């Protein structure tokens, strides 16, 4: 399937945004969020030092960790790249301003949101990594990702032909919207768990093995709630087979189910093995990919070619 320039750019930007979420997860899991104590520069420099001897005299050498500094700096560079890609996506989207202006509007919304995200990133650093600010930063990244995915799909949905009756479409939309809503609720609860763990780590200075215990009843709620997400995912697989929904929806349905299973397995790993950093990164990146898969399934069902109702 040959893609035009806008479609290629928009899809590249979606993938790059997922990479940014992954890098952001690395920064948070490693505790490198203040690897650069100032913003937009890093230790007063546009290219940070690699050795404490090169640190400007106004900065305390105890603040400098070269691994943390460069991990946070790379995170910022990827963020700048995303900003350029979203700007380019918005500019190229003007070719759709008459054919399908919603593509241009969605691309423009992503452009505005990424400007706000850049400002918010500076506020996160200035706040000393306030838990609420970090959570807002992450949620906004998910909103930008979803907006870009919608614009990308909108620009190429005419290529997708899925024939469903009105009743079949309604049933699949109900199941897929349910799993997306439950995933979002689970994500919000998870951010609250993560904020509590940050307090245990940075304020209470508890050992890693005691972080989950310090959360209280919120973590058992988060853990138990995850099984509610499994139910509508199972219904999607069931109805895909019953309605013979086609290979695309079948693949998306199985992707959603497997991603949910992966989240459960990673969650168990976090609990049983003392919150390893690798599992934290997988958990965060996994939910971003899961939300993309769920949203894409909804878009395919909602906007694909329609058959007459039966």
| Cα pseudo-dihedral 277, 281, 282, 287, rounded to 10 | 140
Quick one: which of 236, 228, 257, 234 has its CA closest to 168? 236
Is the torsion defined by CA of 140, 6, 289, 172 positive or negative?
A: positive
CATH number assigned to the domain with residue range 162-310, chosen from the 4 options 3.40.50, 2.60.40, 1.20.120, 3.30.70? 1.20.120
Note down pLDDT in tens along the chain; length 310 residues.
688 899 999 999 999 999 988 988 888 778 777 788 888 888 888 999 888 888 888 888 887 889 989 998 998 999 899 999 999 999 999 999 988 999 999 999 999 999 998 888 888 777 766 767 777 888 888 899 999 999 999 888 776 778 888 899 999 999 999 999 999 988 888 887 877 777 777 667 777 777 777 777 888 888 888 888 999 999 999 999 999 888 899 999 999 999 999 999 998 888 888 788 888 889 989 999 999 999 999 999 988 654 333 2
Kindly give, in sequence order, each residue whose CB lies less than 8 Å from that of residue 182, ignoring residues fewer than 6 positions away.
225, 228, 229, 232
- Which residues are CB-neighbours of 242 under 8 A, at least 6 positions away? none
Rounded to the nearest 10 degrees, what angle do helices 247-272 and 277-303 cross at? 160
Q: What is the pTM of this model?
A: 0.86
């Amino acid at each position: 399937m040959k893609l035009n320039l806008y479609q290629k750019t928009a899809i590249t930007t979606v993938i790059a945004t997922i990479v940014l979420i992954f890098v952001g997860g690395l920064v948070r899991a490693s505790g490198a969020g203040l690897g650069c104590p100032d913003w937009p520069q890093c230790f007063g420099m546009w290219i940070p030092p690699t050795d404490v001897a090169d640190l400007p005299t106004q900065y305390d050498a105890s603040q400098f960790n070269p691994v943390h500094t460069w991990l946070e700096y790379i995170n910022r560079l990827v963020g700048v790249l995303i900003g350029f890609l979203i700007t380019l996506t918005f500019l190229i989207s003007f070719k759709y301003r008459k054919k399908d202006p919603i593509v241009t509007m969605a691309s423009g919304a992503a452009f505005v949101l990424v400007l706000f995200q850049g400002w918010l990133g500076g506020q996160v650093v200035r706040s000393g990594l306030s838990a609420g600010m970090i959570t807002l930063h992450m949620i906004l990244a998910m909103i930008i990702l979803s907006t870009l995915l919608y614009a990308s799909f909108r620009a190429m949905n005419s290529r997708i032909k899925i024939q469903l009756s009105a009743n079949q479409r309604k049933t699949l939309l109900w199941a897929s919207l349910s799993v997306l809503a439950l995933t979002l609720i689970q994500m919000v609860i998870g951010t609250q768990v993560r904020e509590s763990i940050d307090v245990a780590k940075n304020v209470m200075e508890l050992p890693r093995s005691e972080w989950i215990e310090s959360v209280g009843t919120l973590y058992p709620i988060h853990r138990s709630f995850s099984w509610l997400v499994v139910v509508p995912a199972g219904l999607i697989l069931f109805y895909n087979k019953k309605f013979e929904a086609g290979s695309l929806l079948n693949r998306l349905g199985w992707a959603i189910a497997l991603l949910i299973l992966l989240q459960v397995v990673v969650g168990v790993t976090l609990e049983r093995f003392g919150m390893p950093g690798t599992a934290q990164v997988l958990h965060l990146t996994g939910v971003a990919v899961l939300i993309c898969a769920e949203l894409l399934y909804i878009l395919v069902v909602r906007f694909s070619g329609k058959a007459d109702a039966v």
